[in-house]
Structure 1
Amino acid sequence: MASCFTPSAACCSNPPIIGPPYDNKGTFIEVAGAKVYTSSTSPDTPKRALLILYDIFGYSGQILQGADYLAQHFRIFMPDFFDGKPASLSWMPMDGPADEDAMDEFCSGPGGREKTLKKIDELMVQFKQQWPEIESWGIVGYCWGGWIAPYAVGKDTQFKACAMLHPGFPGAKVAEEMSVPVLALCSKDEPESEYADFQPALKVEHEFHHFPKVVHGWMAARGDLSDSEVELDFWRGYELVLKWFQKHL
């Protein structure tokens, strides 16, 4: 069972997209010593919430935009697991050993699995104390976050459903231990061979959807929303996520 995330070839080669500034609807707060983006635009007090694990680039405009969309129906919490120091945009696309070494150090350090899972537990204690009206929780992960999320939904998990967006897939053993319904959205860069061991090992309700026209990261930092086809699949993906959690939370 790997303790360190290994980015895919597409993750290492597709450059992030710097789009126009996004005027986020939520706010940044501090919880358990961590910066957290939280958003809720529902006219009613939400009783359902989503913990969002961003990708290695942190708070991109695209992820904040997607989070605010989900915040129409759920309260959103997106912690800054990297303490303001996400992966450098200059590493992508990777161009030699220096970039590779920097990424390896990042994934084993700020992006380490055990460190992140411990922080999730600490944050969830505080979230539940400060927002006691929330009755059910889901977890969403992008790329790196999509690799972490399966580890957080094993036996005795506090989450009721999981969504993995253009994720890194852990192995079959992790899949076997997942105990909540799982949604996976995959780009053209996540072919079936990427999860040939993972999907068959799942013992829970699950759905896998393919988006063959878009690249890895299209729902996050690599989503070029100036491209009409990408924008269409961006929102189609978030609609699937929304419906998944409306069904399972």
Structure 2
Amino acid sequence: MTSSFTPSAACCSNPPIVGPSYDSKGTFIEVAGTRVYTASLSPEPPKRALLILYDIFGYRGQILQGADFLAQHFRVFMPDFFDGKPAPLSWMPMDGPADEDAMDEFCSGPGGREKTLGKMDELMVQFKQQWPEFESWGIVGYCWGGWIAPYAVGKDTQFKACAMLHPGFPGAKVAGEVTVPVLALCSKDERESEYAEFKPALKTEHEFHEFPEMVHGWMAARGDLGSPEVERDFWRGYELVLHWFQQHL
């Protein structure tokens, strides 16, 4: 069982989109020494919360926009697991090959599984102490974060449901230990062969939705919201995530 995420070929070939700036609606706070983006935009105080694991590019406008959408129904918390040093865009230039060695080193260092899960546990203790009003929690992960999330929903998990967005997929052993419902949204780059072991091993309720026109990362840093087709499937994806957690939290 590997302790670090290995970026897929699509992850290393689709550069992030530098689109229009987005004026996020939430705030940044500090919890357990970690910077955390949080938002709660519902008319009534929410009783449910989501922990969001961004992709390796951190707080990009698209992912903050998606978080704010979910914050209309849940309190969202997005920790800065990379301590202000996400993967730089220069590792994936528009006109050249990606720096795969740098990305691999990043994923085994700042993005290492045990390091991330340990920090997650510390944060969840503090979240529950400071906001005891939340009756249930869900977890959302993008790409790297989508690979981490299944490790967090095994036996004795603190979460009641999981959403994996254009994720990396762990193997069958991890899938077999998952104890909560799982939603996976897959682009044309997450081929069935990539989750051929993971999906059949799930013992809980699960849904896999394919977006055959979308590239890897369309709901986060690689989402070109200037394209009508991408904008359409960006919001269709977030509607599916919203309904999943409304149903299972």
- Residues 114-149 of structure 1 deviation map (CA, whole Å, 9 limit, x = unaligned): 000000000000000111111100000000000000
What does residue range 118-133 of structure 1 map to in structure 2 within 5 Å? 118-133=118-133
- What is the match of residue 210 of structure 2? 210
Query: Is 1:34 the equivalent of 2:30?
Result: no
What corresponds to 2:134 in structure 1?
134
Deviations 1:150-193, CA, capped at 9 Å, x for gaps: 00000000000000000000000000000000000000000111
The 4+ residue runs of structure 1 with deviation greater than 6 A are none
**Corresponding residue for 1:65?**
65
SS at 2:37 equivalent: strand
Secondary structure of 1:183's partner? strand
Aligned-residue offset at 1:49: 0.2
Q: Which residue number in structure 2 is paired with residue 156 of structure 1? A: 156
Partner in structure 1 of residue 179 of structure 2: 179
Q: Are 1:95 and 2:97 counterparts?
A: yes
Q: Distance in 2 between matches of 1:133 and 1:202?
A: 31
The equivalent of 1:246 in structure 2 is: 246
Question: Could you tell me how far apart the structure 2 residues matched to 1:157 and 1:68 are?
Answer: 25
Report the residue type matching 2:97 in the other structure. D
Q: TM-score, normalised by structure 2?
A: 0.98
| Residues 1:23 and 2:32 are matched in the alignment | no
SS of 1:11's partner is coil
Separation in 2 of the partners of 1:22 and 1:88? 19
Q: Deviations over 1:214-240 (max 9, x none)?
A: 100000000000000000000000000
Using the alignment, how far apart are the partners of 1:100 and 1:128 within structure 2? Answer: 38
| In structure 1, C-alpha distance between the alignment counterparts of 2:103 and 2:132, rounded to whole Å | 38
Paired amino acid for 1:180: V
How many angstroms does 1:105 deviate by?
1.3
- What's the CA shift for 1:212? 0.4
CA distance in 2, matches of 1:153, 1:59: 24
Aligned length: 247
> The residue matched to 1:164 in structure 2 has which SS?
strand
Aligned to 1:13: 13
Provide structure 1 residue ranges, at least 5 long, that are not aligned to the other structure.
none
Q: Which amino acid aligns with 2:139?
A: I
Amino acid in structure 1 at the alignment position of 2:175: A
RMSD in angstroms over aligned alpha carbons? 0.8
Q: CA deviation at 1:101?
A: 2.0
CA distance in 2, matches of 1:214, 1:104: 24
Identity of aligned residues (%): 85
Aligned partner of residue 194 in structure 1, secondary structure: helix
Residue identity opposite 1:67 in structure 2 = A
1 CA distance for matches of 2:104 and 2:227?
32
Aligned with 1:240: secondary structure?
A: helix
